[in-house]
A = this chain, B = another copy of it.
Amino acid sequence: MAHVKIKVATMDAFCMEVFQKFGFTEGEARIITDVLLLSDIYGIESHGAQRLVRYHKGIQSGMIKVEAKPEVVFETPVSAVIDGHEGMGQLIGHFGMELAIKKAKESGIGIVTVRESNHFGIAGYYAKMACDQGLIGFGSTNSEAIVVPTFGRKAMLGTNPIAISMPADPYPFFFDASTSVVTRGKFEMYNKAGKPVPDCWGADENGQACTNAGHVLANIKAKAGGGIFPLGGAEELTGSHKGYGYAMISEIFTAILSLGMTSNYNLMNNHGGTCHAFAAIDPAIFGDPQAIREHFNNFLQELRDSPKREGHDRIYTHGEKEVLATADRMANGIDVDVKTLEEMQDCANYVGVDFDKYFGDLGVEINFNPDEHTQY
């Protein structure tokens, strides 16, 4: 599919205007825009501008309530439970992680679980919030059930990403990954490219491995059975039960501890019901944070310096690709496909934003290789 490059500043200004037109305050629009843009800047295109349509439709249908404010319904010095009251996921997520950070600064650790939210963007954004303040950050969310448990043929789990970030030099450790082999976005890329997917990616309506991306996607959409496999693929032999286990860990910290909706109820009857979890840990509760940081730096460097596989010249540590992507996106702009651009235009028309003011001079086509975008 044809893609265009859009300058980060242009997309930023467009999103800021759109979200304020939706009724969010300038401060709220700032948070939502920051979450979306970080995703594009980090090269996780599936969760950036591509998702604007989801928020547009969610607000339009009343599923996402613009006026809702997150409420702390239970609290201890090291924990809190938040009811998001079906508000915008990014705002609830930001509020939740701010609270976890505050508790970590006061008590060493803070864990916050959230119910009744909506899609919050990338989990890594929230982990990064803690990391930016010298803490270890953790973020997770459940989501619409599109992942089958091992030996299942009905999707019962979300792609349930788990993100962890920790300060390090020359750049932080930043791990943000779905607990499924891949996310739906990868199937969509392969479907558009007409390529078969690996047989460890997804199941047909009978729960059997299926390499036809379009077939799996159509079933997911129709809720006709099948879905994406957990990390580890179809069989215990390749570790399917492990990915399934990590998805369960996400459900425990997001939906179970918050008494919220597990992924198999997510998005039913135009009700998001999404649950999140956030944690922050101050490394200083284990000793000298600078000594810990240097120890970590050394290990990360040893990994990067260690001998490479034949045909490869680089071993990445987690967060390194995001640094490379950031340098590229800030210099060259972010990738947006034409379909997303159309959705952005539709959204602009809906809220009354002059689309051409931002994007009237676009039209350059670029090549796009789905395999370059592997984080999710």
List of B residues within 8 angstroms of A252 by Cβ = 136, 164, 166, 173, 296
Does A239 reach chain B (CB closer than 8 Å)?
yes
A300: nearest residue on chain B (CB-CB)?
B248
Q: Which residue of B lies closest to A226 (CB)?
A: B309
Contacts of A264 in B (CB 8 A): 299, 302, 306
Please determine whether B152 and A315 come into contact, CB atoms closer than 8 angstroms: yes
CA A308 to CA B154, docked complex, whole Å: 7
In chain A, residues 143-197, which have Cβ atoms closer than 8 Å to a Cβ of chain B?
Answer: 148-154, 156, 164, 166, 173, 175, 177, 179, 181-182
Stretch at the interface among A29-37, A73-81, A340-348: A73-81
Complex CA distance for A109 and B79, rounded to whole angstroms: 9
Determine the distance from Cα of A200 to Cα of B164 in the docked complex, in whole angstroms: 25
Number of copies: 2
Q: Which of A293-313 contact B (CB under 8 A)?
A: 295-296, 299, 302-303, 306-310, 312
**CB of A93 within 8 Å of the partner chain:** no
Most buried by B among A206, A259, A302, A309: A309
With contacts A245-B318, A315-B150, A316-B151 taken as known, whether A302 is within 8 angstroms of B156 at the C-beta atoms is: yes
Is residue A231 within 8 Å, beta carbon to beta carbon, of the partner chain?
yes
Expressed in whole angstroms, the minimum distance between the Cβ of A312 and any Cβ of chain B is: 4
Q: A283 an interface residue at 8 Å Cβ cutoff?
A: yes
Bound Cα distance from A348 to B37, whole angstroms: 64
In angstroms, Cα B77 to Cα A181, docked, is 38
A177-B245, A251-B299 are known contacts. Are A287 and B152 too (CB-CB below 8 A)?
A: no
Which residues on the B side are within 8 Å of A152 (C-beta)? 303, 306-309, 315
Q: Are A241 and B374 in contact (CB under 8 A)?
A: yes
Q: How far is the CB of A351 from chain B (nearest CB, A)?
A: 37
Would you call A46 an interface residue if the criterion is a C-beta within 8 Å of the partner chain's C-beta atoms? no
Q: Of the candidates B78, B175, B317, which one forms a contact with A285 in the assembled complex, judged by CB atoms under 8 Å apart?
A: B78
Question: A349 an interface residue at 8 Å Cβ cutoff?
Answer: no
**A11 at interface, CB cutoff 8 A:** no
Contact A257–B286 (Cβ < 8 Å): yes
A311-333 CB mask vs B (1 if < 8 Å, else 0) is 01011111000000000000000
Q: How far is the CA of A262 from the CA of B308 in the complex (A)?
A: 19
**Complex-state Cα separation, A204 to B373, whole angstroms:** 27
Contact flags A275-294 to B (C-beta < 8 A → 1, else 0): 00000010101110001100
Chain B residue numbers with a CB within 8 Å of A243 are 231, 239
Given A111-B109, A232-B231, answer yes or no on A287-B153 (Cβ-Cβ < 8 Å): no
Give 14 A-B contacts (CB < 8 Å), ordered by A residue.
A76-B285, A81-B287, A107-B107, A111-B281, A151-B308, A152-B307, A177-B245, A181-B232, A203-B309, A232-B239, A248-B317, A248-B318, A256-B295, A257-B286
Among all A-B residue pairs, the 8 with the closest Cβ atoms: A207-B309, A79-B285, A175-B245, A236-B374, A206-B310, A151-B312, A257-B286, A154-B307
Could you tell me which A residues sit within 8 Å of B by CB distance?
74, 76-79, 81, 107-109, 111, 113, 136, 148-154, 156, 164, 166, 173, 175, 177, 179, 181-182, 198, 200, 203, 206-208, 225, 231-233, 236-239, 241-246, 248-249, 251-252, 255-259, 262, 264, 281, 283, 285-287, 291-292, 295-296, 299, 302-303, 306-310, 312, 314-318, 371, 374-375
